């Protein structure tokens, strides 16, 4: 009887290997931690690599090729309105001359922390004057189809120096431009307006206006 009872107890008892904690040594725990840390390190490395590659691509484009600009104020109405989102081309002027009629972004020479959007009207070496709101280049009237309402102001002729430009807003009655701040040196020019990206219904690119009787 005792032998049968002993045999039953032995059969019911779990095998010793099922509860043997000796298999989980400190070395195994260290290996698991090291494996986890290695995987985490690889993940961090991949993330950092992607970020650095992205910055290497995006930053040069942002700093030297194009940058965004939001229109502030009404000086360029009705062609550009408040809060319109523009993409500025900073590359073209490194290889090409600025042209009359191009809309550009530049720093205000009187306050370089302020950025203006205006149109190139007078080119280096030209004499620019204004009479009854109409612009004259070297004595010839400048036909400006993009202007809806001309002002009635008058401005004595001024001859532009080398690398100087006479810049004006399209809203001639409400624009702080070369009539007040004087000619702008090209060193203050950031770039030309390339694309209007917002609002959606006004998305487009911009071509240089054609002037019939005056060269670009």
Active-site positions? Answer: 75, 118
Radius of gyration, CA atoms only, the chain: 36
Using CB atoms within 10 A of its CB, is residue 214 exposed (0-12), middle (13-18) or buried (19+)?
middle
Within 13 A of 28's CA, how many CA atoms are on the CB side? 5
Region label for 138, one of left (φ > 0), alpha (ψ between -120 and 50) or beta (otherwise): left
- Name the CA dihedral angle for 10, 13, 18, 23, rounded to a multiple of 10 degrees: -70
């Amino acid at each position: 009887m005792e032998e049968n009872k002993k045999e039953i107890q032995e059969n019911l008892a779990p095998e010793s290997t099922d509860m043997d904690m000796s298999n989980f040594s400190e070395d195994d725990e260290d290996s698991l931690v090291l494996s986890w840390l290695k995987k985490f390190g690889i993940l961090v490395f991949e993330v950092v690599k992607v970020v650095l590659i992205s910055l290497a691509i995006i930053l040069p484009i942002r700093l030297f090729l194009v940058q965004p600009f939001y229109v502030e104020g009404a000086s360029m109405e009705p062609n550009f309105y408040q809060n319109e989102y523009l993409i500025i081309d900073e590359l073209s002027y490194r290889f090409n001359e600025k042209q009359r009629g191009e809309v550009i972004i530049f720093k205000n020479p009187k306050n370089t922390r302020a950025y203006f959007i205006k149109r190139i009207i007078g080119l280096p070496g030209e004499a620019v004057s204004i009479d009854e709101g109409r612009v004259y280049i070297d004595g010839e009237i400048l036909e400006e189809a993009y202007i809806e309402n001309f002002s009635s102001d008058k401005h004595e002729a001024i001859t532009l120096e080398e690398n100087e430009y006479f810049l004006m807003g399209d809203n001639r009655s409400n624009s702080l431009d070369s009539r007040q701040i004087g000619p702008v040196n090209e060193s203050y020019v950031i770039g030309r307006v390339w694309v209007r990206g917002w609002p959606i219904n006004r998305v487009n690119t911009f071509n240089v206006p054609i002037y019939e009787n005056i060269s670009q």
